[in-house]
Amino acid sequence: MYKLLFIGGLGMSEILLIALVVLLFFGGKKIPELMKGLGKGVRAFKEGVNEIEKDIKETASEESK
C-alpha cells in the first residue's frame, strides 16, 4: 500500500476509513461548507503572515536609513 509522507504511517485503507467516518458524522451536505470555512481560515492566516513579513521588511529598511 502507498503511504503518504505527510500523514506518517497511515495507509490508504485507514485514510478511507477516516473519510467514511467524517462523511457519516457531518453528512454529505455539510462537508462543502466545512471545506469552504477551512479555506477562508487558511487564506486569512496567510494574509496575516504576509502582513507581518511586510511590516518586518519595512521596519528593517527604515532602520537601515
pLDDT at 5 over 70: no
| pLDDT confidence band for 65 (50 / 70 / 90) | low
pLDDT at 1: 45
Is the pLDDT reported for residue 21 higher than 80? Answer: yes
Average of pLDDT values for 2-13? 65
CB 2 within 8 A of CB 12: yes
Q: What does the pLDDT read at residue 61?
A: 82
Alpha-helical runs (H) found in the chain? 12-26, 30-63
Whether the CB-CB separation of 11 and 2 falls below 8 Å is answered with yes
* Band (39; pLDDT cuts 50, 70, 90): very high
